[in-house]
A and B are shown apart, each in its own frame.
Chain A
């Protein structure tokens, strides 16, 4: 956990700053990979939606040589926190490769923490003794590092995917991590941040991730505390007071633990009004009523547009009142999601299809099955 900071700047949760965001994503449904260049151009076109206090990306399919290992990305404040974390990792995992992350010097990116990457696998004896399944084990270890080790923060923990984020404008963060040169993925998501309630620090930038899941979010949810209190009952620890963190845990819980489909998740977190449900067919009425009643505390209220990244796909979802903008488009195998149409047109002016999904209507793009 980042209890202390490099320059003693206040952390998430310590200060409330009242002040929009931009989100964007691309997926090649044929599974072909692309560098981060286009996603950087897409999010850069919406530069004015963010204020330089946070930017980030998630890339899927970027570590094919290590695809069977968990890729941990960590921020450290100092070498002490690194040593402490590596001792912990060595005790719980087999580390097959570790190195400081390669970055490029960018003038506007300052106060850079120490950034490390590890490819690792749970030690089988430890895993067996834990009586947990592998994913639970990894989640538990991530939570422990983030909650217990001062100055260390795991910001990416999935397989064959990675999150790259920091404080700065997203286009600068993308170049800082050399996403335009060093990585190729079949899907990318991006975020430009305009922090609403918290000061903005490296760990607090989006995407938020847990295992292969990542969330980028534009909005400000008013149900944060109700959602947090509920999700914390299941062992999640919301340490950052940012609403994106709680959304990430809600989706992880509904998918991994409760085994809901993405369509069902949309009906939980962005449930229709009772008056709207009333007008639907008997079957839909039954399903939506059940989901609203089963998970009332996981309804997310207030404006949001999110892009959820997962192994093999991306999902776009708006709040039920559609208080934030979101546009989806398709061109051959490529599919796009963006806060603004310009974020798509800038990389593909000639589209097959472009549309704005309704509030609460999930748009899901996945790799084609025959690949």
Chain B
């Protein structure tokens, strides 16, 4: 089913049409800021041409969402499972409190990507960012995997301030030769030279299936840092001693 929309289409009406659609695949043309697209849906394929609004695929419970533009804020907020593929950039708070599934972004993401991300048994969320990430990447991360590939061409560092602040679970992989910013003391950074673990290889291979211009061999043939919680120095409050 194809739905042509414009600035006058209300988000509630649009989301009702998506939920009520009998077809498994829905294509949205002309999307412009409509919020909550695909919220809580399972087993549908939604293709978006245009700019989707905030909270795209929030509580997503399976299925796929493809965006051929930039996404705004809070993509995949608290999503449970399924796949969200963004061919442009994603805004702030991408994968906020994500519990499962995967979010693949071709470009950059804003502040607070993957904050409060968590994992439980077979639920292991994954976020892969092709470019760079803003400050507070993986803040309070409790589980799951974040990979940032640094393929941005704007000259800005792969991460910004306060990466992994309050992290107490999960992993962050950063594809870079040296860390551009100080890492909080409660996070341990280890350089992976040469040997990549199977988990990372699997994620990169899968990510590259979605983007024609991304090459897994090229992406893996580089240095990575892996960030994990430092159990010897658990989280201290940052907001008091600024």
Question: Which residues of A line the B interface, CB within 8 A?
Answer: 41, 44-46, 48, 273-276, 279, 321-322, 325, 327, 340-343, 345-346, 354-356, 358-359
B152-166 contacts to A (CB < 8 Å):
154, 160-161
Q: Do A340 and B7 touch across chains, with their CB atoms under 8 A apart?
A: no
Select which of B11, B32, B111, B154 is within 8 A of A48 by beta carbon: B11
Against A, the Cβ 8 Å flags (1 = close, 0 = not) of B63-87 are 0000000101100000000000000
Select which of A45, A327, A356 is within 8 A of B32 by beta carbon: A45
Contacts A322-B92, A342-B33 supplied; 14 other A-B pairs, CB < 8 Å: A48-B11, A274-B242, A275-B182, A275-B242, A279-B181, A279-B182, A321-B135, A340-B72, A342-B51, A345-B51, A346-B33, A356-B92, A358-B134, A359-B111
Q: A276-B161, A342-B33, A345-B51 are in contact. Are A41 and B135 (CB under 8 A)?
A: no
Contacting residues, chain A, for B91 (C-beta < 8 A): 325, 327, 341, 356
Which label, helix, strand, loop or mixed, suits the secondary structure of the B interface? loop
Against A, the Cβ 8 Å flags (1 = close, 0 = not) of B171-204 are 0000000000110000000000000000000000
Contacting residues, chain A, for B161 (C-beta < 8 A): 273, 276
Report the contact-size class of chain B (Cβ under 8 Å from the partner).
Answer: 20 to 34
The 10 closest A-B pairs by CB, nearest first: A342-B33, A322-B111, A273-B242, A342-B51, A342-B32, A45-B33, A345-B51, A346-B7, A356-B110, A325-B73
Q: Do B33 and A46 touch across chains, with their CB atoms under 8 A apart?
A: yes
What residue in chain B is nearest A327 (Cβ atoms)?
Answer: B91
Contacting residues, chain A, for B134 (C-beta < 8 A): 322, 356, 358
Q: Do A325 and B33 touch across chains, with their CB atoms under 8 A apart?
A: no
Q: Do B135 and A322 touch across chains, with their CB atoms under 8 A apart?
A: yes
Contacting residues, chain A, for B73 (C-beta < 8 A): 325, 340
Contacting residues, chain B, for A354 (C-beta < 8 A): 70
What residue in chain A is nearest B161 (Cβ atoms)?
Answer: A276
What is the minimal beta-carbon distance from A141 to any residue of chain B, in angstroms? 41
What is the minimal beta-carbon distance from A219 to any residue of chain B, in angstroms? 14
Select which of B32, B70, B72 is within 8 A of A325 by beta carbon: B72
Against A, the Cβ 8 Å flags (1 = close, 0 = not) of B109-143 are 01100000000000000000000001110000000
Contacting residues, chain B, for A321 (C-beta < 8 A): 111, 135-136
Cα-based distance from A321 to B33 in the complex (angstroms): 24
Q: Do B32 and A359 touch across chains, with their CB atoms under 8 A apart?
A: no
Cα-based distance from A41 to B7 in the complex (angstroms): 9
Q: Do A342 and B160 touch across chains, with their CB atoms under 8 A apart?
A: no
Q: Do A343 and B33 touch across chains, with their CB atoms under 8 A apart?
A: yes
Q: Do A341 and B51 touch across chains, with their CB atoms under 8 A apart?
A: yes
Contacting residues, chain B, for A276 (C-beta < 8 A): 161
Is B168 located at the chain interface by the 8 A CB criterion? no
Q: Do B33 and A44 touch across chains, with their CB atoms under 8 A apart?
A: no
Contacting residues, chain B, for A345 (C-beta < 8 A): 32-33, 50-51
Is B100 located at the chain interface by the 8 A CB criterion? no
Contacting residues, chain B, for A340 (C-beta < 8 A): 33, 53-54, 72-73
What residue in chain A is nearest B54 (Cβ atoms)?
Answer: A340
Cα-based distance from A276 to B50 in the complex (angstroms): 37
What is the minimal beta-carbon distance from A77 to any residue of chain B, in angstroms? 36
Cα-based distance from A189 to B154 in the complex (angstroms): 28
Cα-based distance from A279 to B182 in the complex (angstroms): 9
Is B35 located at the chain interface by the 8 A CB criterion? yes
What is the minimal beta-carbon distance from A133 to any residue of chain B, in angstroms? 38
Which of A41, A325, A354 has the most B CB atoms < 10 Å from its CB?
A325
